[in-house]
Amino acid sequence: MFGINAVSVLLGFISGSVGLLSLIGSSSGVGLIVSIIIAAILIIKIRIITSLITGALIGIVLNLIVTATQGADIITLLLG
């Protein structure tokens, strides 16, 4: 479910930027500069989202390993 949500968010970002680029028009110099800025923002957003997804997957795997070896979740072991 989390992966599907992340993909839909990324597609939303991309479609929003494509709409903005079509409004500006990339034929002028200002349009090119704005396109570069939008691309940089998209790259930063995509890196943040992929790092969140990677962290969530690592957390899930670690929780499964701890549950299999200790018989309890990580939160239960930390609080108890």
pLDDT average, residue stretch 49-66: 88
Is residue 67 helix, strand or coil?
helix
Which tens digits make up the pLDDT trace of 4-54?
Answer: 666 677 667 767 666 666 666 655 667 667 777 877 888 888 888 888 888
- Please return the burial class of 55, using the count of CB atoms within 10 Å of its CB with bins 0-12, 13-18 and 19+: exposed
pLDDT average, residue stretch 49-74: 88
Question: What's the rounded Cα separation, in Å, for the pair 21 and 33?
Answer: 11
Hunting for tokens 């943040």 — which residue is that?
48
Q: Over 50: is that where the pLDDT of 1 sits?
A: no
